[in-house]
Amino acid sequence: MSTEERDVLIVGAGFAGLYQLNEMRKRGHNVHAVESAAGLGGVWYWNCYPGARVDTWGPMYQFSDPELWRDWNFSELYPDWSEVRAYFQHVDNKLNLSKDISYNTRITAARFDEDSRRWVVTAESSETDEIREISTRYLLMCTGFGSKPYVPEIPGLESFAGIAHHTARWPQEGVDLTGKRIAVIGTGASGVQVAQESAPVAGQVTVFQRTPMIALPMCQRQISEEENAKEKATYADRMAKRNTTFAGFDFDFLDKGVPDVSTEERDAEFERMWEIGGFVPWLGNFNDIFFNEDSNRAFYDFWRDKTRQRINNKELWEDLAPTDPPHPFGVKRPSLEQRYYEIYNQDNVDLVNLRENPIDHVTAKGIVTSDGVEHAFDIIALATGFDAVTGGITAVDIRNGQGQSVADSWADGAHTALGAATAGFPNLLFVYGPQSPSGFCNGPTAAEAQGDWIVGFVDHLLTSDVTRIEPTGEAEQTWQQKIDAVCELALFDRAASWYMAANIPGKKVQMLMWPAGLPAYLEEVNTSAANGYPEFVKA
Ligand code: N01
């Protein structure tokens, strides 16, 4: 087994990992990245299921470097996975990042050696079965929030004779859906996309729904070359604006709450947001939408009435757009849809309400529900989500000098300082990880905004005589208190969402994100940098 020596080892080659790689390289550090997939893109390598596409305007779903966006154009406002992949290829062509990435290589374990103050990392190649050791001063986990798929325990699933895949492990070569009988389990963003993409071509689509998705119209459209060229003039300002908004977009919440306006003005604002579509009715809504139950309910009622107009069969209204909300709007991430509600007007699309009629087991032929009916299928799409945010980190056997693992340390909940490091694990940093803006933030924005702070921190350490840093328990408690203070006022705990770690049986329920918005986060970390990183013990 060979051992290579690095200053910085990056795990993951999505937006966060690639940004770190490029910036560390620019500063002359000995850096390398390891990626389990065969190509770059992170989630955009794995999520190639039918209909997978971005839920952010393409122009704002890019790195901010003009050298990268100047000659890159997406053809649709919300690009699909293949265009995002092509974008990553474009970035690689410009920056030649791949020369410093080991693809098809999974980090399985990392052990901190207190004597050398270095991580000893085990990397396994899925191509050659070679196992190599990498010694690194700093280990950067850039594993994203959706890198560990979750498949619920459904009795008999392994006996299914057809094709069954989790959406994030969809075959790279695709699956022909034409004329097939397709089951879609789950109605998160992935399930909605698979269902609406399958319905026009499949023989039969049956959606197995536990909780109705409060999906928002995507308002997708093509972007012509002329429009792209014209829009480029606005990119620099809009990209700069991303760091100043709650969720890293080029728009933000209104500077007023629902109680501040008349009913007429409220409804006019709702209509205006609805026309723009996308996440504007979510993260560009009234500023009390996550905090005031009445305001939240007002928008839910607006959404319900709009949505019901699209579903011809009134018997489905209570399942798809219930009278009362399944949970407050937006505290579970909304999906963007293109024709999702109209598919239920097709003869070949059915809905099974799992609250009334749960899945009992799977057979070789299909899915048996508790009413005894066997639904026969050719394909089962498991759109059942992820062990989000922490799962990609705890999947690696990361152990400190005392032999304790991160997974054990977080058994009763993830704990971090500044959403970037965890006490007991020196020289280990997370980008886009637990208690950072993460799932509440546009990915490329977070990769750069939090990423810049981490680059600065690691650069500061590597150019000083410090060789070991670790956050204090006190700094973690302070961070937790700040998160709790927002959550106590908000409606987030009213849904069993992946934001709250409530989607995985047995996982400790906690707010996994920094819920106070990107500007407040940047103020915290930049203050830390200005004060010499007082949250950390340095040696
Ligand atoms: O996963 P999810 P996802 N039996 O966790 C259901 C991003 N993303 O992959 O709601 C039956 O949201 C579960 O039901 P319930 C985006 O941030 C973005 O769809 O828990 N059903 C739910 O309906 C998103 O938020 C895009 O009651 C079961 C579904 O499975 C995040 O990734 C596209 C079940 C899981 O939904 C995750 O989205 C895709 C069981 N035992 C994803 N267990 C873009 O558009 C779970 N479910 C960019």
Query: Any idea what DSSP says for residue 432?
Result: S
477 Cα: distance to centroid of ligand 1 (angstroms): 30
**Distance from the alpha carbon of residue 194 to the mean position of ligand 1, in angstroms:** 12
Indicate the domain borders of the chain: 3-148+387-538
Distance, CA of 294 to chain centre: 28
Beta bridge partners of 131: 124
Question: How far apart are alpha carbons 277 and 180 in whole angstroms?
Answer: 32
Q: Which atom of ligand 1 is nearest to the CA of 498?
A: 5
What spacing in Å lies between the alpha carbon of 337 and ligand 1's midpoint?
Answer: 14
2 pLDDT band, cuts 50/70/90, is low
Residue nearest to atom 24 of ligand 1 (CA): 189
Q: Is 352 in the pocket of ligand 1 (CB under 6 A)?
A: no
φ, ψ at 33 (rounded to 5°): -120, 150
Judge: domain 3-148+387-538, CATH 2.40.30.10.
no
Q: Is 354 in the pocket of ligand 1 (CB under 6 A)?
A: yes
CB-CB neighbours of 198 under 10 Å: 27
What is the C-alpha to C-alpha distance for residues 144 and 10, in angstroms, rounded to an integer?
Answer: 12
Give the residue, 442 or 2, on which the prediction is more confident.
Answer: 442
User: Residue 385: CB within 6 Å of ligand 1?
Assistant: yes
Question: Is-above-0.95 flag for pTM?
Answer: yes
187 CA: nearest ligand 1 atom: 23
Q: Measured between alpha carbons, how far is 386 from 336 in angstroms, rounded to an integer? A: 18
Which atom in ligand 1 lies closest to the alpha carbon of residue 333? 25
Residue 505 Cα, ligand 1 centroid: separation in angstroms? 14
Task: Express each pLDDT in 314-336 by its tens digit.
Answer: 999 999 999 999 999 999 999 99
Query: Which residues 6+ apart lie within 8 Å of 174 measured at CB?
Result: 48, 50
List the one residue out of 454, 460, 405, 409 whose CA is nearest residue 432. 454
**Nearest atom in ligand 1 to 503's CA:** 20
Ligand 1 centre from 170 Cα, in Å?
A: 15
Q: Give 175-208 pLDDT, tens digit per residue.
A: 999 999 999 999 999 999 999 999 999 999 999 9
Q: What pLDDT, on a 0 to 100 scale, did the predictor assign at position 388?
A: 98
Q: 52-71: per-residue pLDDT in tens?
A: 999 999 999 999 999 999 99
Q: Is any ligand 1 atom within 6 A of the Cβ of residue 422?
A: no
Backbone angles phi, psi at 110, to 5 degrees: -150, 135
pLDDT of residue 3: 80
Which atom of ligand 1 lies at the shortest distance from residue 211's CA?
A: 27
